[in-house]
Structure 1
């Protein structure tokens, strides 16, 4: 095997609040096929992301052929995902699923500049599958841990992606600590509501 066979990038976990702020993308080489990374504001690069949340809405927005849009909500906000003929499995999943449903999605960040100059961030899905509430809860806890790890490493002088984030984003890193707290509180509230309902 040749040494430069591309390996699949690890799929990063990020909450919607941070992901939707990740409007800056870059490549690390001039190679045409070099991966495109979204720069997470907490100081990490993401070529792929792993998301679990509630699919709240699906819509075929295609004109000549099917092109599906899905909204996936986590405790901090909404992810948008788009799938068409080049993502047939994901498009089929969005067509067949009945919202609301807990789903897990792996995909690539995509950015789109609107006419007013703002940048929308979405996910081009590789896979979408139905999961249960426990899987969603575990994802929230693990994503909170990963986010806090990135925040803890943010001030390390050798963290090149954190330095890039400081250069390209205006958002203070504390914003994402607040998102973590919100996400974990929402789990606690759900748990106490469930306990009350079962009492």
Structure 2
């Protein structure tokens, strides 16, 4: 998924009664995600630990629609070792689990707990953008079908229950961001292209 939607996925829940039950992030576009695969540019990585004995690294990964934050500490040794060896900026692919944190001001922040981090080529980033765009647009279409009367899946129903009454909830923003991400990969100025289409209609 793209960063713009991930940072809005503030409903991180744990079905089942066991403490070991997996946690899921409910995406506003109607799908629950237990693990997330993202590709972007690692622009910064710093140790934010208050201890001189333990590392706790914060990594900033920038994509076409926003920024992912990933945190690796003593329980993420593979990711921690990978981050130590990467000199930013660099394209990276990350597999991680979503986690949420509520600030003292009551704001919910969503981040990644990485399981693996790998340096990749620009072509891999571009392919991820294309595939992520396809999945995002498909989820949006399914949500729109429900608005037109189709039966909602359990995930879509939960997303509507959680986010539907929020005045900032707008699937159109994710759709627009997705199109802009595709345009970046294709090297197209989407605003200029829209202007050309309008000129042709006159």
TM range (shorter): 0.7 to 0.9
Q: Partners of 1:162 and 1:117 in 2: how far apart? A: 25
Equivalent residue runs for 1:75-154 within 5 Å: 75-154=64-143
1:119-157 Cα distance to aligned partner (Å, 9 max, x none): 110000000000000000000000000001111111242
Q: Which runs of 5+ in 2 are unaligned?
A: 190-202
Give the TM-score normalised by structure 1: 0.86
Q: Which runs of 5+ in 1 are unaligned?
A: 1-13, 192-199
- 1:98 Cα deviation (Å)? 0.6
Match of 2:7 in 1: 20
1:44 equivalent in alignment to 2:44 = no
- Provide the aligned C-alpha RMSD in A: 1.4
Match of 1:9 in 2: none
- Residue among 159, 181, 195 paired with 1:165: 159
Match of 1:179 in 2: 177
Q: Is the 8 A contact 1:153 1:159 kept in 2?
A: no
Q: Which has the higher strand share?
A: 1
Give the TM-score normalised by structure 2: 0.85
- 1:190 Cα deviation (Å)? 7.6
Q: Partners of 1:106 and 1:17 in 2: how far apart? A: 17
- 1:95 Cα deviation (Å)? 1.6
Q: Partners of 1:81 and 1:27 in 2: how far apart? A: 20
Equivalent residue runs for 1:53-68 within 5 Å: 53-64=40-51, 65-68=54-57
1:33-88 Cα distance to aligned partner (Å, 9 max, x none): 21111100100001100000000001011121111010001100000000011001
Q: Partners of 1:116 and 1:63 in 2: how far apart? A: 22
Aligned residues: 178
- Of structures 1 and 2, the larger Rg is shown by 2
1:74 equivalent in alignment to 2:72 = no
Q: Is the 8 A contact 1:102 1:131 kept in 2?
A: yes
